[in-house]
Amino acid sequence: MITDKLIYSSLVRGDSNTSLDLLRKTPFPSRKDEQWKYSPLKKLKKLPFINNSGFSVKSISTLNLPKMNGLILVLENGRVNANLSEFHKINGIKLSFLSSSKENDNPIINSKKENYFSLLNSSYLSEGISIEVGSGFRVQENINIINIVSSNDSLINTKLDLILSENSSIHIRQYFLAHGKTTNGFINHNNNFIVQNNAALVLDKFQDLKNNFHISNDFIEQEESSKFISNTFSMSGLLTRNDILNNVNGEQCHSELNGIFTPFKNDHIDNHTTINHYFPNCKSYENYKGIMKENGVGVFNGKVIVHENAQKIEAFQQNNNILLNDEASIYSKPELEIYADDVKCSHGSTTGQFDQESIFYLRARGLTLKKAKELMILGFINEVIQKSENSDYIDFILERVLEN
Amino acid sequence: MKELLVEIKDLECKIGDQEILKGVNLKVNKGEVHAIMGPNGSGKSTLSSVLAGNDNYEITEGSISFLGEDITEMSPEERSWKGMFLAFQYPIEIPGVSNINFLRTALNERNKFFGDDPIPAKDFLKMVAEKSGLVGLDNRLKNRSVNEGFSGGEKKRNEIFQMAMLNPKLSILDETDSGLDIDALKTVANGVNKLKSAENATIVITHYQRLLDYIVPDFVHVLNDGKIIKSGDKNLALELEKKGYDWLTGNTTK
């Protein structure tokens, strides 16, 4: 088991005692667990992870990220790399790092999401960021959080706790990256968000961790009339897994989970999502697009649960996939559980290859084979990519998808 | 002296094990309109596909030359850059790609091939406004995804609009009349006629004579069982309309 081999010298205090007790009682998941049926953990389990906190990224420009406005917080190997960060005070935001918090500060959120990896995270936290957005503050600047693994075999446990008070809004961009030739590192991240009445949160996640592991456990609790939009762009990873639990605890909420995943050579990208509709009159939309190439494996398992008394729910879930060659694969499982009787819900999944007639049509109009395929991919992901309204960011994602 | 635009020599092709074209010969000069007619399954659409370079079909014999160059093995995009255009019988829907973006990419790919700069946005939009008027393409269709949710008529108009934008030397219209009501047919034919010049040529592939009332051919060819079995002037089309194909094909079962 991972934890037995860990030597944690720089362990940050958290709620580690309770979590550690729970973690010890939680078995390491295997493919026998329904939740892990399509994603292998054997390699992850066997690796002798270490805790290395050195820095090796020289400048932020070497990461080739899009233009950023607002705060830039860089975590490298689980520690704040202050030289690469751009930090200033923003009106209405209370931001703190766990490593510099006081002994008796309590975490601002207690996650209700408990699985092996979220518990591993809270038991052995490397660093955490807490953000509270004050009531009524509509923050114009973005918060960019760049989470890098740059050292082989390192286990990094990071988290972001975020509370959006009533009537506030903010846009968060997270980047999870493996630097240079780093291999077999593991960024194990927790996102814990509370979106209070009438607040709005947009989360863009970009994940590019070729030859490394990454699991993100996201817990989002929405209160009345709030809005949550999550856009997840997963480019690569030996295992990149997003596990989103979105609890909608109030009426008139809007929830959106969008994603593009592009597992190519030796990549395995897994999106697990659960939306719980506990209250009536809410809408949720889920749209994931997968493009699989070479021996890349994609997984989509989306679940929408409409609980009893949650009437007048509109929930739409869609997963479309393209397999670019014969070795690529996708496991797609859209699920709906409905316990209310007056709802409008749909779910669907499609998987196919490029349509040769379409390619011929484009070529007959003068597009090269390469351009024709690019345009087809563009068309395929367009609907999802337009959800990020910033053109620099859209161009960045497009470029990354097309260069794969 | 008429200048030869395209020459098809002894063309044979198959898809899988099935032979479809069994020796087609055709010469088209600049400034001419040729109609190719024939019963279902005679190979009309295959001929247009093969001319445009669809590699689903395997060419087993013969050759195609275009402006003196052998293009038998040439990619569809290069044929397009050199001035060939196929208006599809069933135009393909490309969700998520706007008509305008697609056309601009197409024009710029061609410019790139000839070493020219990309077309400036202003010139491009001016061209779009001018050419879409030619076929009465609804303004809002220009920004919609390519053919997605278009009616049959709108799709065909869109094909001719694209043809106008690309300004080809040889236009092949594959059953452009299918799915068109009489008004749409007139508009589309009108668009095609306006694009006609002494420098280009048109091959019209059709089942029925109706379209040829509006796009008047200089030559009419009858394709049957993968071969051209009869050629004539526009009167041949009228004769076919009256008598059907059986008197030519020797098929008396109908």
Are B107 and B124 in contact by the 8 Å Cβ rule? The answer is yes
Cβ neighbours of residue A402 closer than 8 Å, sequence gap 6 or more: A374, A377, A378
Residue A2 has pLDDT above 60, yes or no: no
Separation between Cα atoms, residue A147 and residue A77, nearest integer Å: 8
Backbone angles phi, psi at A371, to 5 degrees: -65, -40
Q: Mark whether A69 and A186 lie in a shared domain.
A: yes
Are B5 and B28 in contact by the 8 Å Cβ rule? The answer is yes
Best CA proximity match to B215, nearest among B192, B242, B235, B240: B192
**pLDDT of the residue at A285:** 98
Separation between Cα atoms, residue A397 and residue B15, nearest integer Å: 40
**pLDDT of the residue at A219:** 96
Q: Mark whether A233 and A378 lie in a shared domain.
A: no
Q: pLDDT (tens digit, 9 = 90+) per residue, B10-35? A: 999 999 999 999 999 999 999 999 99
* Domain boundary residue, one of A249, A283, A303: A249
Confidence band (pLDDT; 50, 70, 90) for A1?
very low
Are A217 and A121 in contact by the 8 Å Cβ rule? The answer is yes
**pLDDT of the residue at A389:** 79
* Domain boundary residue, one of A191, A217, A249: A249
Q: Which residues of B touch A381 (CB under 8 A)?
A: 96
**pLDDT of the residue at A9:** 35
State the residue range of the domain holding A77. 2-249
**Vertex A401: Cα angle to A398 and A403 (nearest 5):** 105
Average pLDDT estimate for A165-183: 97
Between the CA atoms of B135, B141, B145 and B148, what dihedral angle is there, to the nearest 10 degrees?
-80
**pLDDT of the residue at B252:** 54
Share of residues in chain A with pLDDT > 90 (%):
80
Separation between Cα atoms, residue A199 and residue A163, nearest integer Å: 10
Residues 211-230 of B with CB under 8 A from A: none
Give residue A256's identity as a one-letter amino acid code.
Answer: E
In the CATH hierarchy, which fold is given to the domain comprising B4-89+151-249?
Answer: Rossmann fold (3.40.50)
- Residue A198: left if φ>0, alpha if ψ -120 to 50, beta else—which one? left
Q: Under DSSP, is residue A338 helix (H, G, I), strand (E, B) or coil? A: strand
Backbone angles phi, psi at A240, to 5 degrees: -115, 120
Cβ neighbours of residue A219 closer than 8 Å, sequence gap 6 or more: A111, A112, A113, A118, A190, A191, A192, A193, A245, A247
Separation between Cα atoms, residue A277 and residue A308, nearest integer Å: 9
CA of B107: which chain A residue's CA is closest?
A: A366
The mean pLDDT value of chain B amounts to 92
Are A292 and A298 in contact by the 8 Å Cβ rule? The answer is yes
* Residue A57 included in any domain: yes
Disruptive mutation site among A287, A291, A361, A383 for chain B (greatest number of B CBs within 10 Å): A361
Q: Mark whether A217 and A363 lie in a shared domain.
A: no
pTM: 0.88
Are A386 and A357 in contact by the 8 Å Cβ rule? The answer is no
Are B172 and B200 in contact by the 8 Å Cβ rule? The answer is no
CB contact under 8 A, A368 and B79: no
Q: Where are the domains of chain B?
A: 4-89+151-249
Disruptive mutation site among A320, A354, A363 for chain B (greatest number of B CBs within 10 Å): A363
CA of A374: which chain B residue's CA is closest?
A: B97
Q: Which residues of A touch B172 (CB under 8 A)?
A: none
Cβ neighbours of residue B130 closer than 8 Å, sequence gap 6 or more: none
**pLDDT of the residue at B251:** 67
Q: Which residues of A touch B (CB under 8 A)?
A: 355-358, 360-369, 371, 375-376, 378-383
Number of domains forming the structure of chain A:
2
Separation between Cα atoms, residue A220 and residue B238, nearest integer Å: 72
Separation between Cα atoms, residue A369 and residue A161, nearest integer Å: 46
Separation between Cα atoms, residue B254 and residue B245, nearest integer Å: 10
Separation between Cα atoms, residue B83 and residue B80, nearest integer Å: 5
* Residue A170 included in any domain: yes
**pLDDT of the residue at A244:** 97
Backbone angles phi, psi at A153, to 5 degrees: 65, 10
Are A306 and A315 in contact by the 8 Å Cβ rule? The answer is yes
Separation between Cα atoms, residue A36 and residue A302, nearest integer Å: 13
**pLDDT of the residue at A49:** 82
Confidence band (pLDDT; 50, 70, 90) for A76?
very high
Q: Does B107 touch chain A (CB under 8 A)?
A: yes
Q: pLDDT (tens digit, 9 = 90+) per residue, A12-21? A: 444 556 788 8
Separation between Cα atoms, residue B228 and residue B24, nearest integer Å: 6
The mean pLDDT value of chain A amounts to 91
Q: CA dist B185 to A259, A378, B30, B162, B188, Å?
A: 44, 33, 24, 17, 5
**How many beta-carbon pairs below 8 A join chains A and B?**
74
CA of B97: which chain A residue's CA is closest?
A: A379
* Domain boundary residue, one of A249, A267, A285: A249
Within its chain, how far is the Cα of A315 from the centroid? Answer: 21
Q: pLDDT (tens digit, 9 = 90+) per residue, A339-356? A: 999 999 999 999 999 999
Q: Which residues of B touch A394 (CB under 8 A)?
A: none
Q: pLDDT (tens digit, 9 = 90+) per residue, B155-206? A: 999 999 999 999 999 999 999 988 888 888 998 899 999 999 999 999 999 9
CA of B56: which chain A residue's CA is closest?
A: A356
Best CA proximity match to A319, nearest among A306, A330, A307: A330
Residue B241 has pLDDT above 90, yes or no: no
Give the burial class of B23: count Cβ atoms within 10 A of its Cβ; 0-12 exposed, 13-18 middle, 19 or more buried.
Answer: middle
- Residue B191: left if φ>0, alpha if ψ -120 to 50, beta else—which one? alpha
Q: Using DSSP bridges, classify how beta strands A227-248 and A254-261 pair: parallel, antiparallel or unpaired.
A: parallel
* Residue A33 included in any domain: yes
Are A238 and A265 in contact by the 8 Å Cβ rule? The answer is no
For A254-282, the DSSP string reads EEEEEEEE---TT-EEEEEEEEEE-SSS-
Residues 6-65 of B with CB under 8 A from A: 52-54, 56
Q: Under DSSP, is residue A188 helix (H, G, I), strand (E, B) or coil? A: strand
Q: Which residues of B touch A387 (CB under 8 A)?
A: none
Helix axes A369-385, A356-364, angle to 10 degrees: 110
Give the ipTM of the model, two decimals please.
0.95
Confidence band (pLDDT; 50, 70, 90) for B218?
very high
Instruction: Name the token pair of A182.
Output: 């780093």
Residue A57 has pLDDT above 80, yes or no: yes
Q: Using DSSP bridges, classify how beta strands A71-76 and A79-80 pair: parallel, antiparallel or unpaired.
A: antiparallel
Q: Does B173 touch chain A (CB under 8 A)?
A: no
Are B9 and B194 in contact by the 8 Å Cβ rule? The answer is no
Separation between Cα atoms, residue A378 and residue B38, nearest integer Å: 39
Q: CA dist B40 to A346, B24, B44, B226, B231, Å?
A: 42, 17, 8, 11, 18
Disruptive mutation site among B92, B119, B155, B165 for chain A (greatest number of A CBs within 10 Å): B92
Residue A309 has pLDDT above 80, yes or no: yes
CB contact under 8 A, A363 and B102: no
Picking from A356, A375, A383, the nearest residue to B102 by CB comes out as A375
Q: Mark whether A234 and A376 lie in a shared domain.
A: no
Confidence band (pLDDT; 50, 70, 90) for A105?
low
Are A181 and A212 in contact by the 8 Å Cβ rule? The answer is no
Confidence band (pLDDT; 50, 70, 90) for B50?
very high
Q: pLDDT (tens digit, 9 = 90+) per residue, A382-393? A: 989 988 878 899
* Residue A317 included in any domain: no
**pLDDT of the residue at A21:** 86
Can you give the length of chain B in residues? Answer: 254
Separation between Cα atoms, residue A238 and residue A213, nearest integer Å: 6
CB contact under 8 A, B86 and A364: yes
Picking from B77, B86, B92, the nearest residue to A368 by CB comes out as B77
